[in-house]
Amino acid sequence: MLTALGFAVFVAAAVSAAGVASNFPPLPTVTPTIFDPEAPDPQQCPGYKASNVFESDHGLEADLTLAGPAWNAFGNDIPDLVLKVSYQSKERLNVRIQPKYIGSANSSWFVLDDQFLRQPQWDGRTTRYSSDLNFSWSNEPSFQFAITRRHNGEEIFSTFDHVIVYENQFLELVTNMVDDYNIYGLAENIHNFRLGTNYTQTLFNADTADALDENAYGTHPFYQETRYYKDQPSTAHGIYARNAHAQEWLMREDTLTYRAIGGSFDFYFLSGQRSDLAGTSTSSSSALDVFRQYQRGCVGLPAMQQFWTLGFHQSKWGWSSIDDLREVVANYSAANIPLESIWNDIDVYDQHRIFTNDAIRYPSKGMHELVDFLHDRGQHYVAIQDSNVYFPDPSNASDVASYPAFGRGAEVNAFIRDANTGYFYIGENWPGYR
Ligand SMILES: *[C@@H]1O[C@H](CO)[C@@H](O)[C@H](O)[C@H]1NC(C)=O
Ligand SMILES: *[C@@H]1O[C@H](CO)[C@@H](O)[C@H](O)[C@H]1NC(C)=O
Ligand SMILES: *[C@@H]1O[C@H](CO)[C@@H](O)[C@H](O)[C@H]1NC(C)=O
Ligand SMILES: *[C@@H]1O[C@H](CO)[C@@H](O)[C@H](O)[C@H]1NC(C)=O
Ligand SMILES: *[C@@H]1O[C@H](CO)[C@@H](O)[C@H](O)[C@H]1NC(C)=O
């Protein structure tokens, strides 16, 4: 909803109270990264060789060992990796590459835990023979793999002729693309629906409204590719790269490059094979089936919403007082437009501090009356909550007392910490630096 309102929510936050040092740590200085044309080409890295290959009916496991001297393009090449290929379901194939040696201290850097984002699993019955897809690989000149459709050999992904780069702060994998390819997705973005063959999509969540051709609020590392033919039905497949780290997808004339600054290669290839034709001799794929397979098989269906949320909602940033709010509600009635819910933005707060209301502009008594009035008419009221919390001056008892919400949150350890200092993560947004 904040996106729609076109303003900001910064995860700033935090704060402290009891038992916390009274000196603020200095604000971090951020140096913008500037593209360096002299930057090393990661494709100079040596790649890997597969060994100890163990094949079973439902997949393959192997060790991947750095195939030459480390090139260390953007970090240090990780010498030992493991490969795990799993024919998870008829329409879904998983290829995962991650460091062989992972400890408790670095596990969260490389492995995205299932508790944060569901990890799709083998259905317990699909084998390489019943899958729609086929994994093939080669060690010449270094480890490379391809995914093809089992029934007609159509290649949907191929890293052939490119090296796989796996460094502690940089991952890169390149797939060959068909001429003039059509891919859609890699949200969130504001860009042409067809992403094009000369475009770079960065996925790194940022609080930027209406960011044309830039990274925006969310990260959905998934794309759908459709191939259109003159004299035969189009084909469709999907690719989901399960990784929460900042990443880039570089669409170029003949290739698509996937880069991330952490995590692992955890790719899910979706065949898009049409479910309504299952069991028949006809084989065909569709974009719709790709989305079904992505939602049901990978990320899960959206939560069912309450019925009233589907009604007409009015929200706006900039209503200066409760009088505006009353007038908007009354104007809807006068115009005979059914209004399901009315929303207040951060105007309602005292000095932009979440969990408060301004006693003069939005007095509690009047707000109670207005909300009761709405409820009596079967309408709803929603107060937007910003994620940033005012940080009172810990050395000023009356400042701390003026904003008890902070102390209560600090007590239950609700606020984000700076991983380097262990102290509250402090930023600047609506409520100010403090
Ligand atoms: C992760 O940490 C362990 C020690 O806990 C170390 O042995 C291993 O090399 C580290 N892995 C990587 C890829 O840096
Ligand atoms: C799988 O791909 C490999 C390499 O292209 C090929 O040799 C093999 O025949 C394919 N298998 C099937 C069932 O398509
Ligand atoms: C690709 O896009 C860049 C930047 O937008 C542009 O300078 C370049 O000419 C384009 N290349 C091609 C082949 O269209
Ligand atoms: C309510 O409607 C009146 C008459 O059209 C208009 O002047 C007024 O600006 C409206 N109030 C609000 C808060 O939009
Ligand atoms: C302490 O906090 C109070 C309440 O916010 C504020 O009015 C006062 O100026 C602060 N005192 C100092 C010395 O900053």
> Ligand 4 centroid to 370 CA: how many Å?
18
pLDDT of residue 427: 84
Closest residue by Cα to atom 2, ligand 5, is: 399
**Is ligand 4 within 6 A of the CB of residue 324?**
yes
> Ligand 1 centroid to 103 CA: how many Å?
5
Whether the bond into 141 is cis, omega within 30 of 0: yes
Pocket of ligand 5 (CB under 6 A): 393, 396, 398-399, 402
pTM of the model: 0.79
**pLDDT in 10s for each residue of the chain, 434 residues:** 333 333 333 333 333 333 333 344 454 454 545 556 677 899 999 999 999 999 999 999 999 999 999 999 999 999 999 999 999 999 999 999 999 999 999 999 999 999 999 999 999 999 999 999 999 999 999 999 999 999 999 999 999 999 999 999 999 999 999 999 999 999 999 999 999 999 999 999 988 878 899 999 999 999 999 999 999 889 999 999 999 999 999 999 999 999 999 999 999 999 999 877 766 666 799 999 999 999 999 999 988 999 999 999 999 999 999 999 999 999 999 999 999 999 999 999 999 999 999 999 999 999 999 999 999 999 999 999 888 899 999 899 999 999 999 999 999 999 988 888 889 988 888 888 65
Element (H, E) at 222: strand 222-227
What whole-number distance in Å separates Cα of residue 193 and Cα of residue 184?
A: 6
| Domains located in the chain, CATH noted | 1-22+304-434 (3.20.20.80), 42-285 (2.60.40.1760)
pLDDT of residue 29: 53
pLDDT of residue 153: 94
pLDDT of residue 178: 98
Q: What DSSP line would sit under 377-431, residue for residue?
A: TT-EEEE---S------TT-HHHHHH-HHHHHHHHTT-S-B-TTT-SB----STT
Strands 165-167 and 247-251: unpaired
Element (H, E) at 370: helix 364-376
**Is ligand 1 within 6 A of the CB of residue 66?**
no
What whole-number distance in Å separates Cα of residue 412 and Cα of residue 111?
A: 28
**Is ligand 4 within 6 A of the CB of residue 331?**
yes
Give the three-state DSSP class for 276.
helix
pLDDT of residue 368: 97
Of the ligands numbered here, which is closest to the C-alpha atom of 200? 3
Closest residue by Cα to atom 12, ligand 5, is: 396
pLDDT of residue 277: 76
CB of 381 within 8 A of CB of 5? no
**Which is nearest to 332 in space by CA: 316, 349, 318, 317?**
316
**Which is nearest to 240 in space by CA: 96, 115, 143, 106?**
96
Token readout for 360 is: 């003069």
What whole-number distance in Å separates Cα of residue 6 and Cα of residue 193?
A: 21
